[in-house]
Amino acid sequence: MKKILVMSDSHGDYEIVKDIRDRYKDKVDLLFHNGDSELLATDKLWQDFLVVGGNVDFAGFKDEQLLELGPDIIWQIHGHRYEINFGLEQLYAAAQKKKATIVLFGHLHRISCKKHQGILFLNPGSITHPRGVIQEKSYAILDLDEKIIKIQYYNRYHQPLKKLHFEFWREESQV
């Protein structure tokens, strides 16, 4: 079983990225930052993260990355190139082409966690500037179990957000 932490859109807040790194580095398998950190791509903090660039980031970041983790293929992307302000259709289509099982994105500053055609799409929200209905500065921790994926959102003071817990059973494996 793997455990990953996902954050995004910290927009210049160095301390919270460092805080999360220091707190979780030895507690999770991987740390993801989905872009718009507004930190330099050469910052040493990124040695401990899988990070991609967002629309307001400096040059030097990867645009996206695809990685295998146990049974999952994780596609990490900021999302601004897929017109996600107008809906996730373009992102859905691209995720299918890449055969991703989990898509980690950002950009919208809105918590969202849903399964679409067997693919889990997760936006951790923004750790500094939440937008929309859920006004929480947030990040997410995913437990990637063999049979179930559990997601818990936390606020920036590291308290679990009670209503923001999700569980998705994996599809029955095809014989």
User: Which residues bind to Mn ion, rule: CB under 5 A?
Assistant: 9, 36
Q: Among residues 79, 63, 90, which one has the least CA distance to residue 123?
A: 79
Cβ proximity to Mn ion, 36 vs 72, nearer residue: 36
Please state the closest distance from residue 149 (CB atom) to Mn ion, in A: 25
How far is it, in rounded angstroms, from Cα 93 to Cα 117? Answer: 10
Please state the closest distance from residue 36 (CB atom) to Mn ion, in A: 3
Q: Which amino acid is at 157?
A: Y
CB contact at 8 A, 33 and 47: no
Cβ proximity to Mn ion, 36 vs 136, nearer residue: 36
Please state the closest distance from residue 38 (CB atom) to Mn ion, in A: 9
Cβ proximity to Mn ion, 13 vs 72, nearer residue: 13
Cβ proximity to Mn ion, 80 vs 144, nearer residue: 80
CB contact at 8 A, 35 and 107: yes
β-bridge partners, 111: 124
